[in-house]
């Protein structure tokens, strides 16, 4: 059997309890594995050495998530996509050596976080400090002990990670934060975002933020909303992994994204209109 990596997207809908398989609940992996079996690519996850490159929590979405299998046949992506629900789709694949690990051979993981409030709102309500946000992002780059920015895990002894980059951008009045690292701790990004927002909103000062970099000073707090997090991409050595994009599968993905965008646009304008504070002469109540 040949081994393949597959890139796929998924939306963290309420019915899915994260990406990784769990007992007695539906997950993204469960649905993908069901399709792989239905279409004759695997008999079961164990025999095919099914392995995901990353795991995400409930409500987190993915655009360039990756899994690997030893497949019983050469991939035809639309054959797989025809059995998947529209919120999940495979759009690229690559043949790799049988000893290749999608998890451990990953060279870089890239996440995006969309702050769930418009920038104009943050500036008006909180006097949002953009410059302080940028400074904090730069200070978080490099090698640090991120223990206070992660969920406690008895199986993890080393909480030191190398944050390659954290970059800020503004898209359609929304703040997008890009995180890149070879590996992340559980909830690391969402806990960082939580404190970045508090800092920029002037709810904590910079010294309080810096104390979180001291692992001996234990701090406990809730992470930011998981719905804003996207597993954007996972990078591998191009000498070993050459992903091939399937154009029909890519078109399917973008059509789904467009339809959801239009639904959201309607909802946004509906509530914006209903929220208006002044009534026109034509309004009668």
Indicate if 121 and 220 belong to the same structural domain.
yes
The pLDDT tens digits along the chain (285 residues) read: 999 999 999 999 999 999 999 999 999 999 999 999 999 999 999 999 999 999 999 999 999 999 999 999 999 999 999 999 999 999 999 999 999 999 999 999 999 999 999 999 999 999 999 999 999 999 999 999 999 999 988 778 899 999 999 999 999 999 999 999 999 999 999 999 999 999 999 999 999 999 999 988 888 899 999 999 999 999 999 999 999 999 999 999 999 999 999 999 999 899 988 887 655 656 554
The CATH code of the domain that includes 127 is 3.30.70.660
Please report the pLDDT score of residue 132 as a whole number. Answer: 96
Residue 273 covered by a domain: no
Indicate if 142 and 193 belong to the same structural domain.
yes
Indicate if 214 and 243 belong to the same structural domain.
no
Indicate if 151 and 201 belong to the same structural domain.
yes
Indicate if 83 and 23 belong to the same structural domain.
yes
Residue 265 covered by a domain: no
Q: Of 95, 59, 74, which Cα lies nearest the Cα of 223?
A: 59
Residue 269 covered by a domain: no
Phi, psi torsion values for 107, nearest 5 degrees:
-95, -25
Indicate if 65 and 205 belong to the same structural domain.
no
Domain final position from 190, 224, 258: 224
Residue 266 covered by a domain: no
Helical H runs in 108-166? 119-126, 130-140
Residue 112 covered by a domain: no
Residue 229 covered by a domain: no
Q: Quote the CA–CA distance of 141 and 227 in Å, as a whole number.
A: 24
Indicate if 97 and 124 belong to the same structural domain.
no
Q: Quote the CA–CA distance of 58 and 36 in Å, as a whole number.
A: 22
Indicate if 99 and 18 belong to the same structural domain.
yes
Give the number of domains in the chain. Answer: 2
Indicate if 71 and 137 belong to the same structural domain.
no
User: Which residues, 6 or more positions from 57, have their beta carbon under 8 angstroms from its beta carbon?
Assistant: 18, 187, 226
Exposed / middle / buried, residue 223 (Cβ in 10 Å: 0-12, 13-18, 19+): buried
Q: Quote the CA–CA distance of 234 and 182 in Å, as a whole number.
A: 9
| Domain around 7 | 2-106+237-248
Q: Quote the CA–CA distance of 284 and 279 in Å, as a whole number.
A: 8
Indicate if 132 and 218 belong to the same structural domain.
yes
Torsion of CA 163, 165, 166, 167, to 10 degrees: 180
Phi, psi torsion values for 178, nearest 5 degrees:
-100, 125
Please report the pLDDT score of residue 284 as a whole number. Answer: 55
Please report the pLDDT score of residue 278 as a whole number. Answer: 58
Q: Of 170, 168, 166, which Cα lies nearest the Cα of 119?
A: 170
Please report the pLDDT score of residue 279 as a whole number. Answer: 57
The CATH code of the domain that includes 17 is 3.30.70.580
Task: 244-249: list long-range contacts, CB under 8 Å, 24+ apart.
Answer: 244/92, 244/93, 244/94, 245/91, 245/92, 246/77, 246/78, 246/90, 246/91, 246/92, 246/93, 248/77, 248/78, 249/77, 249/78, 249/81, 249/89, 249/90, 249/91, 249/92
């Amino acid at each position: 059997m040949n081994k393949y990596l597959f890139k796929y997207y998924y939306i963290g809908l309420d019915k899915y309890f994260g990406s990784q398989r769990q007992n007695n609940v539906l997950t993204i992996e469960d649905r993908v594995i069901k399709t792989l079996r239905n279409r004759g690519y695997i008999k079961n996850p164990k025999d095919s050495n099914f392995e995901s490159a990353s795991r995400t929590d409930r409500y987190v979405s993915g655009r360039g998530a990756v899994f690997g299998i030893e497949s019983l046949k050469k991939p035809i992506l639309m054959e797989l996509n025809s059995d998947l629900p529209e919120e999940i789709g495979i759009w690229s694949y690559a043949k790799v050596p049988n000893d290749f690990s999608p998890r451990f051979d990953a060279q870089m993981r890239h996440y995006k976080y969309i702050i769930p409030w418009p920038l104009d709102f943050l500036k008006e309500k909180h006097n949002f400090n953009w410059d302080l946000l940028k400074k904090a992002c730069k200070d978080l780059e490099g090698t640090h002990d991120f223990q206070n920015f992660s969920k406690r895990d008895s199986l993890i002894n080393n909480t030191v990670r190398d944050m390659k980059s954290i970059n800020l951008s503004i898209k359609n009045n929304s703040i997008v934060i890009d995180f890149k690292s070879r590996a992340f701790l559980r909830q690391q990004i969402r806990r960082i975002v939580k404190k970045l927002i508090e800092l920029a909103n002037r709810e904590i000062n910079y010294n309080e933020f810096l104390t979180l970099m001291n692992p001996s000073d234990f701090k406990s707090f809730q992470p930011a909303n998981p719905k804003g997090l996207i597993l954007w991409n996972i990078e591998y050595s191009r000498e070993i992994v050459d992903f091939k994009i399937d154009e029909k599968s890519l078109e399917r993905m973008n059509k789904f994204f467009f339809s959801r965008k239009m639904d959201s646009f309607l909802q946004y304008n509906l509530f914006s209109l209903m929220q208006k504070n002044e009534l026109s002469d034509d309004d009668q109540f």
